Structure formats: structure tokens, C-alpha cells
Amino acid sequence: MPRQVLPGISSVDWQPCGNFTDIFLDKSKNGIARIAINRPSKRNAFRPQTVLELCTAFANVRDDKNIGVVLFTGVGPAADGGYAFCSGGDQGVRGDGGYMDEEGVPRLNVLDLQRIIRSMPKVVIALVAGYAIGGGQVLHLLCDLSLASDNAIFGQTGPKVGSFDGGFGAGYLTRVVGQRKAREIWFLCRRYSSEEALRMGLINAIVPLHELEAEGVKWAKEILKNSPTAIRCLKAAFNAETDGLAGIQELAGHATHMFYRTEESKEGRNAFLEKRSPDYSEFDWLP
């Protein structure tokens, strides 16, 4: 029996992977992975250990050539009935210089996680049930697509709790919802319903809570019918529009990756190994 992450019936025979304390990583046989923060009693707030495990799970999925789409979510409901995708950094372990790990080292390692989600050449779909607040709202923002249940609530608390995310959390949010709305979200720290989130372009669709995972699986299956290389390059292209040289590096890396597979590129490698001059004469200078 696959472990339950969200309410509702899932059509996927999830296989548990890895040995984690704060998260679940499950994979299906048909190209989908599911990563879930498993701290419902804390509204799925992340501590350094949670982020470390999320980085490990996302890196695992990135390196798995059988996986094309990741569903990213939070386990719910909590014992008190509350739901959250993620409520941001765990304020209980926030020290003077960051979030304290087991060794007492202050960390902001969620920034590493943000970059992994953004740059991995697979599609990440956020499934938001309940709160996506603070650093949790930023994590949801960085996913390629976002499906929210009708009970989802989005917002920032940074200026209330003495923090802010001036990276993707402000800059990329502005690209998604525009300058006026982004400033409103951060300056006023209001909460927004899924209808409001849909209207401002923060999410792709609203789904009844009990159908959220099934809808995520449906979207994943549609994506998986398409060309992995086209999707990979498109994701990098969307990132390149905002991410400067780091974004161009991603897109160019994919181009090099594809070039390696051509006869033209192989001629250069073969000539070097055979200690001769390369002969590119059969390759056209196409317009």
C-alpha cells in the first residue's frame, strides 16, 4: 500500500526511496517522482535537516533518467486538521545568523534548494494544499507549475518576522505577478486565497483538495508524452530570460549536450584520439 501524502486516491503505485526523517521521496515506474515535506505538525516548516534532505532527493531525481516530472508537496493533514505545502523557515531553530543545524551551525541552505529546483532539467509541479507562506511560498514560486487546492493560502511574512528573500523571492515574484502586486505581497504581508493566486498568475489551476494529487499525476502524464529534450531546453530558455549568465549557462549546456551526440562533434573527438586533423568537410554551413 503506497504511503499517503495528501487525501484522495492516487492512481500511482508509489515506491518509497531513500532513508529520510523530514521528507518522503517516492517514485513511480512511469516517470513521475513525488517529494513531500513531512513535518505536518510544524505546517511543514523547514529546518536545515529538511532542506538538506530535499536537496538530496531533488538531486537524486535530477540524476534519474527514468524520471521526467516531480510532484513537490507537503504531507497533510496534521493531527489538528491543518494543511500546509510549507510555512517557510522553522522559527523554532532560527538562531542569530540563520537556521541552526544539529551541530549548531547557522544555515540558509534553502537557497541551495531553490537553485536545484530551478535548474534541474525536469518539470517540477507544486501541489499546494493549505499554507504556502514565507520561504514556502518562494519554494512554490520556483516550481515550474503550481496546482493549488481550494483551501490553499499564499503569502509572505518576512517583514513581520524579521526576514526577507531579496533573490528569487522578490525578483522572480515580480516577473510572475508584476511590480505592484509583488510590492503589495511583501510590504503588507497579507494572505491570499487560491482564487486570488490564480487571478495574479501565481498558480496554474485550482483543484478540489481530494483530487490534487490525481490532477498533478494527470498533468505529469501529459508532459511525459512530449519530447524530453524540447522540455529540457524550454525550461532553460524560460530561466535564461531572468537568470543572466547562470541562465544562459544552463541553456548553452543543453546545446553542448545535444551537439556531443552529432556526427560533427564526434569527428572532433575521434580525430583527436586518432591523432589526425579533423575533417569537417561533409558538414554544411547551414543558413
Q: Does 48 interact with ligand S0N (rule: CB under 6 A)?
A: no
Q: Given the complex with ligand S0N, which of 91 and 242 has the nearer CB atom?
A: 91
260 in a labelled binding site: yes
Please work out the total of residues on this chain that contact ligand S0N, with binding judged by CB under 6 A: 24
Q: Residue 4: CA atoms inside 13 Å, Cβ hemisphere, count?
A: 9
Cα dihedral sign for 78, 84, 86, 89?
Answer: negative
In angstroms, the Cα distances linking 138 to 31, 48, 79, 167, 206 are 26, 16, 25, 10, 18
Name the segment binding ligand S0N (CB under 6 A); options: 24-32, 37-45, 172-180, 218-226.
37-45
User: Contact with ligand S0N (CB under 6 A): which of 22, 53, 144, 165?
Assistant: 165
User: Contact with ligand S0N (CB under 6 A): which of 108, 198, 224, 237?
Assistant: 108
Q: How many CB atoms lie within 10 A of CB 160?
A: 11
157 in a labelled binding site: yes
39 — phi, psi (to 5°)? -135, 55
User: Contact with ligand S0N (CB under 6 A): which of 2, 16, 92, 159?
Assistant: 92
For residue 224, what are the contacts with CB-CB under 8 A and spacing of at least 6? Answer: 30, 31, 32, 68, 69
Q: Given the complex with ligand S0N, which of 14 and 186 has the nearer CB atom?
A: 186
CA distance 35 to 70: 7
Q: Given the complex with ligand S0N, which of 88 and 247 has the nearer CB atom?
A: 88
Quote the least distance from Cβ 98 to ligand S0N, whole Å.
Answer: 7
CA distance 20 to 151: 28
Q: Does 40 interact with ligand S0N (rule: CB under 6 A)?
A: no
> Which residue has its beta carbon closest to ligand S0N?
88
91 in a labelled binding site: yes
Q: Does 68 interact with ligand S0N (rule: CB under 6 A)?
A: no
Q: Residue 84: CA atoms inside 13 Å, Cβ hemisphere, count?
A: 26
* Ordered alpha helix ranges (H), 23-152: 48-62, 110-119, 135-142
The helix/strand/coil state of 73 is strand
Quote the least distance from Cβ 39 to ligand S0N, whole Å.
Answer: 9
Residue stretches of the annotated binding site: 43, 87-91, 99, 131-135, 156-158, 163, 260, 275
Site residues, ligand S0N (CB under 6 A): 42-43, 45, 82, 84, 87-92, 108, 110-111, 131, 133-135, 157-158, 161, 163-165
